[in-house]
Amino acid sequence: MSTPTRTREMTRREFILLAAGMGISLFGADRLYKWFVAHEDPLGEAAHSEINKNGPYWAMVIDLQTCIGCRRCVYACQATNDTANGHLWNILLEDEDTFAKPVFITRPCMHCEHAPCVEVCPVQATFHREDGLVAMDYDRCIGCRYCMVACPYGVRVFNWEENDGENPQVPTWGEPEVPRRPRGVVEKCTFCAHRLDKAEERGLIPGKDPAATPACCVICPTEARVFGDLRDPSSPASLKLAGRQSVVLRSDLGTNPRVFYLLPNEQA
Amino acid sequence: MTAKKNRLQSIGAKARAVPLFWWWVAFLLIPITFGLVSGLWVFYKGLGVTNLTDGAPWGLWIVLDLSCIGLAAGAFSLSAMTYLLGRKEYQPLARIAVFIGLLGYSGALMCLILDIGRPDRFWHGWVYWNIHSMLWEVTMCITLYFSVLALEVFPMVVELPLFNRFKRLQHFGHSVHHFAPVLAVIGMCLSLLHQSSLGGTYGVVVGRASLFRATMPLLFIVSAVASGMAFSVHMTLIVQWLKKRTLVPLSVLFEVGQMAGAILLVYLYMRFWDTTVGNYGYSPGRTEAFTSLMSGSFAISFWSWEIILGGLLAAYLLIRARQAQSVAMLLIGSGLTMGGLVANRLHTTLLAFTEPLTESPAVTSPLVSHYFPAWTEIGTGIGIVAGLTLIFSLGMRYLPAYQGEPVEIPEEAVAPTVSAVPVPAGD
C-alpha cells in the first residue's frame, strides 16, 4: 500500500502562476505594512500619505522635554493673528507627569487629516486646503458652532463680540499680520498659513526661514516647537522627530493630527 | 333651582363682557414683548450678551429647538396613520397635530436664527452644501418639512370667512387638500430623516464621549414619536375642556394615548440597555459624564423627570387611561411624557458640555464648563413659547377646521363612555 509518488518538472503555466502569486503577495504585504506599521512612525506616514502628494506635508513638533512653559508662543500667536483676549488660538496647559514633575503642553490646532470639524460644518466654511491644512472661510461661516461641539481638542474659538479692543501683546511680541475676524464667526489656528503661502514667492523655506514659519515656532526660546515639511528629511520637524518617540493627542479618535508631541520622560 | 341657575348664567355673561380669551391674549403679550425686546437685543449686540462660552457653545436655544421638533413629531406620525394606514378616525387629531407641528417647527427655526452668529447668512445652508454634515441634513429637512406642514395647514386657514373674497386661494386650498396623502408620505420621509439626524447630530461628535453613541438617532426618534403623539393628545384635551366642544372623540384620544405609552415603554427599554451596556466598565469621559447624570449633579432631575415621572409613570398612566376611561390619567400622563422629552434633551445637551475634553495624553484637562442661560436667552425662549401659544390659541378659536361638535360632555359622567360622545357622521 505505498502511496504513488510523482515527480515532474514544473510547467511553464505553473511557474508563471507561482511567480504572479508571490508578486501579488509581496505587493499586498507592502501595502499592509504601509497601512499598519507606517502609521506608528510619523515620517513614514507622511512619506506614504496621499495628501498633497507632490508637495510638502506640513507638521509641527512640540518637545515636551524642553518646553519650559514661558507662554511666548501664546503671546506671539495672539499678536500675529490679532486674537481677542480670552479667545486664544494657542494655549498652554499645565500638567504633571507620573512623578509630579510639571509638564507644559501648548496646544495649537491639530490640522487633522480626518478633522471632525470639517466633516460636521453644514456649509463647508471649514475645509481642507490643497496642502491638507484645515482652513476657515470667514465669509461663509454662519456661526452655528457645531465645529466647536465636534472638535475633540477644543481649539476653536467664537467671536462672541466685535473684537475692537487693544491687543495687549502688540508690539511686544509681534505685529498683526491678518485682519480681525467679524463678530459671529468661528476661528482657529491657521499654522500661520499667510506666511506659508508667501514662502514660495519670496524664496523662503517654511520651518527654516523665520518669515515663512509660524510665529509660535519662531519665538520659541528653547526650540521646543518646530515646524517643517515631513517629506523633507532635512527640515527641522523631520530632524526633531527622527529617533524620538512621539505621540499625538487623542490618537484613539482616528483624527490623525499633524501636531506631534515628543514625550518628556526621555533622559537627554 | 332654575332661577338660581339663570342668575348664575347672567352673572357669568356679565363677567365675560370682555371674554376670558382676550385676557389670555393680553397676558400672553407680556412675555411676547419681553421676548421681542431680548431677541432684538441679541441681534443688535451679538451672542456676547448670552451666557454661552467657547466651552459650552450650545445652550438653552438648542434645547428649546430640540424640544420643539421632538414635540412636533405627532404631526408626521398621526398623519401617516391617518392617510397611510387608513385610520380615518384619527383625522381630526392629525389635523390638530399638524397645526402643532407647524408651530413647533416655526419655534425651532426661530431658535436657530437666534442661535447662529450670523443670522444674515441663514441661507448659506441651502447654497453651500456639505452633504457629510448632520446639521446640513437637518437644516434641509427642517425647512422642507416646514413647507410641507405649511401646505397642510394652508387649506384650513383659507377656510376662514376672511378669505371668502379670494376664491382662487380657496380653490387652491381645496386642491392642496386632495394631495394630503402625498404630503403625508413626503412629511413622513422628511421627519424620519431629520428626527433621527438630530440624534445623529450629537451621535457623530467623536470627541464628546457621552454623545458619541450609535444609539442616539434611534433614541431621539422613538422618544419624539411617543411624546409628539402624547403632546397632541394633551393639547386636544385642554382645548376641548376650554371650548366645551368635542374636536376629537375620546375613544381616539385614549387609543392614541395608549399607543404613545407603548412606544414610550419601547424607548425606555432601549434607553435602559443603552445606558447599562454603555456603562459596563470604564471609558474615559463617558463614565464621568454618566456618573454625574445618574448620581451627580444631574441625578435628581434625571431620575425624577426623565425616568420616573416622564418615563415609567407617564407610560403607566397613558396605557392605563384607556382601560380606566379616565381623562385625568390621560391628561397627566401625556403632560408628563412631554416633560420627560424636554428633560431628556436638556440633560443630553448640558451633559455634553460639562464633561471634560481629554486634551493631555495622561490627564483630563480643566476644560469643564459651567452654563446657566442669561436673561436674553430665557427672555427669547419664553417669548417664543408664548408666541406659539398665542397662535395656537387663535387658531383653535377661529379656524373652522377646529370648531368640533357643539356637544357638552355630561357633567355627571366622571368617566364619559364612548357612546356619550356622538361621532361626527361626516362633513
pLDDT tens track for B53-94: 888 899 999 999 999 999 999 999 999 999 888 889 999 999
DSSP A64-106: TTT-----HHHHHHHHHHTPPTT--SSEEEEEE-TTS-EEEEE
Q: In this complex, do A123 and B125 lie within 8 Å of one another by their Cβ atoms?
A: yes
**In-domain check, residue A25:** yes
Choosing among B66, B109, B114, B130, which should be mutated to test the A contact, i.e. which has the most A CBs within 10 A? Answer: B130
**In-domain check, residue A197:** yes
pLDDT category at B343 given cuts 50, 70, 90 is very high
For residue B416, what pLDDT is reported? Answer: 46
Q: What is the mean pLDDT of chain A?
A: 88
For the ranges A85-99, B193-207, B225-239, the lowest mean pLDDT is seen at A85-99
- Determine the Cα–Cα distance for residues A233 and A239; give it in Å rounded to an integer: 7
Least CB-CB distance to B121: which of A142, A150, A154?
Answer: A142
Q: In this complex, do A98 and B362 lie within 8 Å of one another by their Cβ atoms?
A: yes
Same domain, A62 and A44: no
**In-domain check, residue A1:** no
Chain B closest-CA separation from residue A110 CA (Å) = 11
Residues of chain A contacting B124 with CB distance shorter than 8 Å: 122-123, 125, 140, 142
pLDDT category at A251 given cuts 50, 70, 90 is confident
The single-letter code of the amino acid at A249 is: L
Nearest residue to B180 (alpha-carbon basis) of B68, B70, B250, B75:
B75
pLDDT category at B414 given cuts 50, 70, 90 is very low
Contacts of residue B13, defined as CB under 8 A and 6 or more positions apart, other chains included, come to none
Least CB-CB distance to B47: which of A121, A184, A253?
Answer: A184
Same domain, A221 and A176: yes
Calculate mean pLDDT across residues A162-189. Answer: 92
Choosing among A120, A126, A136, A147, which should be mutated to test the B contact, i.e. which has the most B CBs within 10 A? Answer: A120
Same domain, A26 and A53: no
CATH superfamily of B26-357+367-404: Formate dehydrogenase/DMSO reductase domain (1.20.1630.10)
DSSP B124-167: HHHHS--TT-HHHHHHHHHHHHHHHHHHHHHHHHTTSGGGGG-H
**Start-to-end Cα distance in chain A:** 72
Asked whether the predicted pLDDT for residue A246 surpasses 70, the reply is yes
Report whether B386 contacts B26 (CB < 8 A). no
Report whether A141 contacts A198 (CB < 8 A). no
Asked whether the predicted pLDDT for residue A59 surpasses 60, the reply is yes
> Does ipTM surpass 0.90 in this model?
no
For residue A214, what pLDDT is reported? Answer: 95
Count CB atoms within 10 A of the CB of residue B310.
Answer: 25
B422 interface with A at CB cutoff 8 Å: no
Q: In this complex, do A249 and B361 lie within 8 Å of one another by their Cβ atoms?
A: yes
**In-domain check, residue A22:** yes
Report whether A143 contacts A185 (CB < 8 A). yes
Same domain, A66 and A94: yes
- Determine the Cα–Cα distance for residues A38 and B365; give it in Å rounded to an integer: 30
**In-domain check, residue A7:** no
Higher-confidence residue of B2 and A124: namely A124
Tens digit of each residue's pLDDT (9 = 90 or more) over B386-404: 999 999 999 999 998 888 7
Residues of chain B contacting A183 with CB distance shorter than 8 Å: 46, 48, 117
For residue B181, what pLDDT is reported? Answer: 87
For residue B27, what pLDDT is reported? Answer: 95
Higher-confidence residue of A210 and B275: namely A210
For the ranges A59-63, B41-45, B369-373, the lowest mean pLDDT is seen at B369-373
Asked whether the predicted pLDDT for residue A127 surpasses 60, the reply is yes
Question: If you count residue pairs, one on A and one on B, with CB atoms under 8 Å apart, how many are there?
Answer: 141
Least CB-CB distance to B54: which of A87, A98, A142?
Answer: A87
Same domain, A57 and A32: no
**In-domain check, residue A168:** yes
Q: In this complex, do B133 and A185 lie within 8 Å of one another by their Cβ atoms?
A: no
Asked whether the predicted pLDDT for residue B11 surpasses 70, the reply is no
- Determine the Cα–Cα distance for residues B341 and B66; give it in Å rounded to an integer: 9
Asked whether the predicted pLDDT for residue A43 surpasses 90, the reply is no
Question: Distances in Å between the alpha carbon of B365 and those of A65, A70, B144?
Answer: 19, 19, 41
Least CB-CB distance to A148: which of B45, B46, B57?
Answer: B57
Same domain, A206 and A103: yes
For residue B5, what pLDDT is reported? Answer: 53
Same domain, A154 and A207: yes
Asked whether the predicted pLDDT for residue B412 surpasses 80, the reply is no
Residues of chain B contacting A116 with CB distance shorter than 8 Å: 204-207
**In-domain check, residue A165:** yes
Same domain, A35 and A118: no
pLDDT category at B364 given cuts 50, 70, 90 is very low
Choosing among A96, A97, A144, A251, which should be mutated to test the B contact, i.e. which has the most B CBs within 10 A? Answer: A144
**Which residues 108-147 of A are in CB contact (within 8 Å) with B?**
116, 119-125, 140-146
For the ranges A81-90, B180-189, B206-215, B417-426, the lowest mean pLDDT is seen at B417-426
The single-letter code of the amino acid at B208 is: R
CATH number at residue A134: 3.30.70.20
Same domain, A18 and A135: no
Domain spans of chain B, in order of start: 26-357+367-404
Least CB-CB distance to B46: which of A122, A184, A249?
Answer: A184
Identify the domain boundary among A48, A65, A91.
Answer: A48
pLDDT category at A99 given cuts 50, 70, 90 is confident
Question: Distances in Å between the alpha carbon of B228 and those of A194, B345, B425?
Answer: 51, 14, 28
Give the gyration radius of chain B's Cα atoms: 23
Domain span including residue A125 = 49-262
For residue B368, what pLDDT is reported? Answer: 63
Same domain, A92 and A19: no
Same domain, A173 and A237: yes
Calculate mean pLDDT across residues B147-156. Answer: 92
pLDDT category at B162 given cuts 50, 70, 90 is confident
For residue A156, what pLDDT is reported? Answer: 93
**Which residues 19-58 of B are in CB contact (within 8 Å) with A?**
45-48, 50, 52, 54-55, 57-58
- Determine the Cα–Cα distance for residues B58 and B342; give it in Å rounded to an integer: 16
**In-domain check, residue A9:** no
Residues of chain A contacting B135 with CB distance shorter than 8 Å: 120, 122, 144, 146
Q: Count of domains in chain A?
A: 2
Tens digit of each residue's pLDDT (9 = 90 or more) over A213-236: 999 999 999 999 999 999 999 999
Choosing among B47, B205, B206, which should be mutated to test the A contact, i.e. which has the most A CBs within 10 A? Answer: B206
Same domain, A40 and A67: no
- Half-sphere exposure for A241 (CA within 13 Å, toward CB): 30
Q: Give percent above pLDDT 70 in chain B.
A: 88
